[in-house]
C-alpha cells in the first residue's frame, strides 16, 4: 500500500505511517512531499480543514498512491473557549474524501489573553512568551509546551488520522459502506 502525505515534517509522516499501517494491519510505503496549505501558519476555524484539504489535493494531483493525506493543526473557538485541534483529509485512489478531526486542547488563557492584548497571532505570541520565560527549549510542540510536557500534539494528529482512515477500513463490517437512499 502506498501513501503520499503533503508534508516533509518527520513527526507528521511517522504519525501517518503508524496510524494507517495499524488501521490496515500491514506495512505501508509512505512518502512526504512539500505542499502548501494555502492558509495561515496558525490557521483559525475552518482554515484548518481547508489547509488539510489543500495538502491532500496537492498530493492527489501527483498520483501513484492508494491514499493521499493532508494533515493540519489549528486553532478554533468553541463555545467561547480557544482550542488547538488537528484535521486530516485523506483522498483515496478513487477520489473519495475521508475527513477526520481530533479533540482539542484548551489554549492556556495566559496565551489567549496576550494574543488579544497585543493583537498578535498565536505564533507571534508563543515566540514572545518564549522570550519572556527565557525558554531556550527548541521544542515547538505547542501541546507539550502548554501542558509542561504531559501531552504531545502527536496525540491530536493520530486521532484525526484514525477518524478519517477508519472510514476506509473493513467496509464489509462498517456502516460507512451504506449510502443514504432518498
Looking at residue 130, what is its pLDDT? Answer: 84
pLDDT (0 to 100) of residue 63: 95
Q: What is the 3-state secondary structure (H, E, C) of the chain?
A: CEEEECCCCHHHHHHHHHHHHHHHCCCCEEEECCCCCCCCCCCECHHHHHHHHHHHHHHHCCCCCCEEEEEEEEEEEECCEEEEEEEEEEEECCCCEEEEECCCEECCHHHHHHHHHHCCCHHHHHHHHHHHCCCCCCCCCHHHHHHCCCCCCHHHHHHHHHHHHHHHCCHHHCHHHCCCCC
Q: What is the rounded distance in angstroms from the CA atom of residue 104 to the CA atom of residue 11?
A: 19
Assigned C-alpha cell, 70? 493532508
Instruction: Say if 163 falls within a structural domain.
Output: yes
Q: pLDDT in tens for each of the 182 residues of the chain? A: 999 999 999 999 999 999 999 999 999 999 999 999 999 888 999 999 999 999 999 999 999 999 999 999 999 999 999 999 999 999 999 999 999 999 999 999 999 999 999 999 998 999 888 888 877 665 578 898 889 889 999 999 999 999 999 999 876 677 776 655 44
**Enclosing domain of residue 79:** 2-104+152-172
Assigned domain for 78 exists:
yes
In a domain, 177, yes or no: no
Number of domains in the chain: 1
Say if 181 falls within a structural domain.
no
> Could you tell me if residue 18 is inside a domain?
yes
Q: What is the pLDDT of residues 39-73, one digit of tens each?
A: 988 899 999 999 999 999 999 999 999 999 999 99
Residue 179 in domain: no
Task: Give the count of beta carbons closer than 10 Å to the beta carbon of residue 31.
Answer: 14
- How far apart, in Å, do the first and last CA atoms of the chain sit? 35
Domain annotation covers residue 38: yes
* CATH number of the domain enclosing 100: 3.90.950.10
Question: Is residue 178, in this structure, part of any structural domain at all?
Answer: no
* pLDDT at residue 133, rounded to an integer: 80
pLDDT digits (tens, 9 = 90+) for 89-103: 999 999 999 999 999
Amino acid at each position: 500500500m502506498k501513501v503520499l502525505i503533503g508534508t516533509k515534517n518527520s513527526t507528521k509522516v511517522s504519525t501517518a505511517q503508524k496510524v494507517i499501517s495499524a488501521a490496515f494491519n500491514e506495512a505501508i510505503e509512505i512518502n512526504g512531499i512539500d505542499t502548501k496549505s494555502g492558509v495561515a501558519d496558525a490557521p483559525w476555524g475552518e482554515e484548518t480543514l481547508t489547509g488539510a484539504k489543500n495538502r491532500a489535493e496537492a498530493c492527489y494531483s501527483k498520483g501513484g498512491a492508494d491514499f493521499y493525506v493532508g494533515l493540519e493543526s489549528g486553532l478554533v473557538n468553541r463555545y467561547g473557549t480557544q482550542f488547538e485541534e488537528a484535521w486530516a483529509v485523506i483522498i483515496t485512489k478513487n477520489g473519495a474524501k475521508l475527513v477526520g478531526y481530533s479533540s482539542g486542547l484548551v489554549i492556556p488563557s495566559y496565551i489567549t489573553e496576550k494574543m488579544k492584548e497585543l493583537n498578535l497571532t498565536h505564533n507571534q505570541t508563543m515566540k514572545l512568551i518564549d522570550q519572556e520565560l527565557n525558554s531556550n527549549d527548541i521544542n515547538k510542540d505547542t501541546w507539550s509546551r502548554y501542558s509542561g510536557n504531559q501531552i504531545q500534539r502527536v496525540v491530536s494528529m493520530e486521532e484525526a488520522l484514525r477518524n478519517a482512515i477508519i472510514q476506509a477500513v473493513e467496509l464489509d463490517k462498517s456502516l460507512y459502506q451504506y449510502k443514504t437512499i432518498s
